[in-house]
Structure 1
Amino acid sequence: MTENNKQLQYEELSLLISMFNDNEFKWVGDPDQLEHWKSALDKFMLTHDVSGLEVSPFRFQILLDMGENWFNVFLPCQYPETRPECYFSSDTATKQMWTEINQEIEKKLNERCDGECCIFDIYQHIKSFLQQPTITETSTSALSQFNEKSDYSFKICRILIWTHHLLSLEKRKCVCRWANELGIWGFSKPGYPGIIIVEGLYDNVQDYISRLKSLKWQAITIRSEESEVIYNSPPHDHGEFVKIRLGRINPGVSEFESMSEISSKMKEAGLEEMFLSAMKINKKQDKSLT
């Protein structure tokens, strides 16, 4: 295995590990393999140096959603020069769903170029692909409820976005400008990692997500998403129901320099659990942020 392949492989693995908690990312192997893999990745994440690190085939799975649907990965020693093995598994999916998703994975694998890391991209693609029918069904159901209960109903959505980093001044301007354009409120924290939390009308928040994802990121993912339906009120009054508005009159995103400031604002908005869970922080750790 070339040193370049090893470097790329370890960089992608460390990125994936930083994105998911222990319930979402699971090594698959015997105890000795798991200990070896964890030890090697720990050393790399401290030094970012692959010299002296042994290479063995890595096998792991990443949770796609709460339905216990998993993205399974086997990385051969020569990855990314050599194609990885990836497949979808689930205890609840229908045979048709299983077939369609695995065909989609195969399609994405065939599109990759030799020497190109692709696990995160395929994971993101399959996660979006898996959500499409659910989103359609949810939207149809919600629309039906709206019509039954009120002529004036709307859906509020709040999300927490995690990025590997948020340093570019141009991206930071987009984060703020697009929020203002779409009439949504929120906070952001530049740096490593980048955190963006916004809330507003459901369709506007989804548009905001699409705009952000159109930019070039090393990694970007939605760590948490919540929504609620507001009845008996016209959509143009939605601002008064936004929890993270916190007295701010006009829509937009406020930048904060530290995680503790974001944590404090989320606590003030009654959304502390959403923040702590998404950022994998327990109560004890949260106190140490201040």
Structure 2
Amino acid sequence: MTESNKQLQYEELSLLISMFNDNEFKWVGNQDQLEHWKSALDKFMSIHDVSGLDVSPFRFRILLDMGENWFNVFLPCRYPEIRPECYFSSDTVTKLTWTEINQEIENKLNERCDGGWCRFSILFRTFGVTLNHHHIKSFLQQRDIAETSIPELPQIDEKKECSFKICRILIWTHHLLSFEKRKCICRWANELGIWGFSKPGYPGIIIVEGLYDNVQDYISRLKSLRWQAITILSEESEVIYNLPLHDHDKFIKIRLGRIKPGVSEFECMSEISSKMKEAGLEEMFLSAMKINKKSDKSLT
């Protein structure tokens, strides 16, 4: 393993571990391997130097939120120069489903690694595995719905006309320290007429809500900035019928009585959690941040 590959692997794993709790992210190996992996990563996260950190190739698995269904990952020594090995395992699905899901994983890996995984940006490498995890989770949910319910034709009310669409998103970043980025977050929200909250530091959190097209524009602008890692953890939308467009701000839940659009900055998670609860969006926040309600009071 080259020093460059090793550095990228440790950076990626440290970020992945921060995205999943202990019940969702599991190392796969013997006790010595587990201890070496954990010790090496602890050292890396404290000194950000891979010199002398020689361990066997990493193996881990991520729990899909549907019983004992796992997404398994093996990172070869030369990763990310070469593709990772990924496969689905389960004790609850049929052999046909198991085969289809693993074929889907193979197809996605081939698509994303075509031409060399090493040519992807560090952002894509960081979340390539996570994106695959969410894709297969969605695939499982769709199969479960298809196998347990009878599809119905959509009911169309011809009297209703779509007036506008509201969208709200929660964005996670590895960190948010740059004053220039923080100014952009606030300035662009004002320009696009959207409301929201943000929290600088480690990690950075940005939550905004507004007209769908404006929110999508906002996302594009944010992603055009340089980030170590950025991803959308949650996105919700709703269509409002038979109302004039200028009334859309009445349906912005996180507006909370504010007159002018914009992003309010808070110093800690607990403040944002409190605002989301006040807006009736507590479940969205807790689910996206993988926080149990019992531990919500201890957020910092």
TM-score (norm 1): 0.76
Deviation string 1:35-91 (CA, Å, 9 cap, x unpaired) is 55345434443454545544112123457998x9986532123434x5232446596
Partner residue in 2 for 1:58 = 58
Higher alpha-carbon deviation: 243-252 or 52-61: 52-61
Q: Which amino acid aligns with 1:83?
A: I
Provide the C-alpha distance between the structure 1 equivalents of 2:244 and 2:70, rounded to a whole number of angstroms: 40
Write the distance in 2 (CA, Å) between the matches of 1:85 and 1:286: 36
Q: Distance in 2 between matches of 1:99 and 1:282?
A: 34
Distance 1:178 1:63, change over 3 A: farther
Count of aligned residue pairs for this structure pair: 280
| 1:76 maps to 2:86 | no
How far did 1:254 drift? 1.3
Out of 108, 113, 127, which is 2:112 matched to?
A: 108
For the Cα contact (< 8 Å) 2:64–2:70, is it kept in 1?
yes
Residue 7 of structure 1 corresponds to 7
Alignment partner of 2:158: what SS? helix
Give the alignment partner of residue 209 of structure 1, picking from 198, 215, 219.
Answer: 219
Q: Which residue of 2 aligns with 1:258?
A: 268
Structure 1 residue 122: Cα displacement: 3.0
Secondary structure of 1:196's match?
strand
Amino acid in the other structure paired with 2:7? Q
Distance 1:260 1:115 in 2: 36
1:245 shift after superposition:
0.1
Which AA in structure 1 matches 2:11?
A: E
Shift in alpha-carbon separation, 1:108–1:17, aligned structure 2, 3 A:
same
Partner Cα distance (1:167, 1:59) in 2? 32
Q: What amino acid is the match of 1:120?
A: T
Map residues 235-246 of structure 1 onto 2, 5 A cutoff. 235-246=245-256
More off after superposition, 264-273 vs 105-114: 105-114
Give the partner amino acid of 2:195. W
Preserved CA contact (<8 Å) 1:146 1:231: no
Give the deviation of 1:176 after TM superposition: 1.6
Residues 86-95 or 145-154, more deviating: 86-95
Q: Check the 8 A contact 1:159/1:226 in 2, yes or no.
A: yes
Q: Deviations over 1:268-288 (max 9, x none)?
A: 212223222322333343323
1:182 match? 192
62 and 119 in structure 1: CA distance in 2 versus 1, 3 angstrom threshold = farther
Q: 1:71 to 1:147 in 2, by over 3 A?
A: farther
Counterpart secondary structure, 2:82: coil
Shift of 1:160: 0.9
- Name 1:230's counterpart in structure 2: 240
Residues 64, 106 of structure 1: CA spacing in aligned structure 2 closer, same or farther, 3 A cutoff? farther
Residues 148, 204 of structure 1: alpha-carbon distance in 2 compared, 3 angstrom cutoff: farther
Q: Does the 8 A contact of 1:160 with 1:198 survive in 2?
A: yes
Aligned twin of 2:203: 193
Residue 119, structure 1, aligned to residue 119, structure 2: no
Q: Which moved more, 1:207-216 or 1:192-201?
A: 207-216
Superposition RMSD in Å:
3.9
- Which amino acid in structure 2 is aligned with residue 113 of structure 1? C
The answer on 1:20 being equivalent to 2:48 is no
Change (3 A) 1:149 1:219: farther
SS of corresponding position for 1:148: coil
Q: What TM-score do you get using the length of structure 2 for normalisation?
A: 0.73
CA drift of 1:233 comes to 2.4
Q: Secondary structure at the match of 1:83?
A: coil
8 Å CA contact 1:74, 1:86 repeated in 2? yes
Q: Per-residue deviation at 1:239? A: 0.7
**Comparing 196-205 with 229-238, which one deviates more in the overlay?**
229-238
Determine helix, strand or coil for the equivalent of 1:113.
Answer: helix
CA distance in 2: counterparts of 1:116 and 1:204, whole angstroms: 26
Q: Distance in 1 between matches of 2:267 and 2:186?
A: 15
Q: Which residue of 2 aligns with 1:138?
A: none
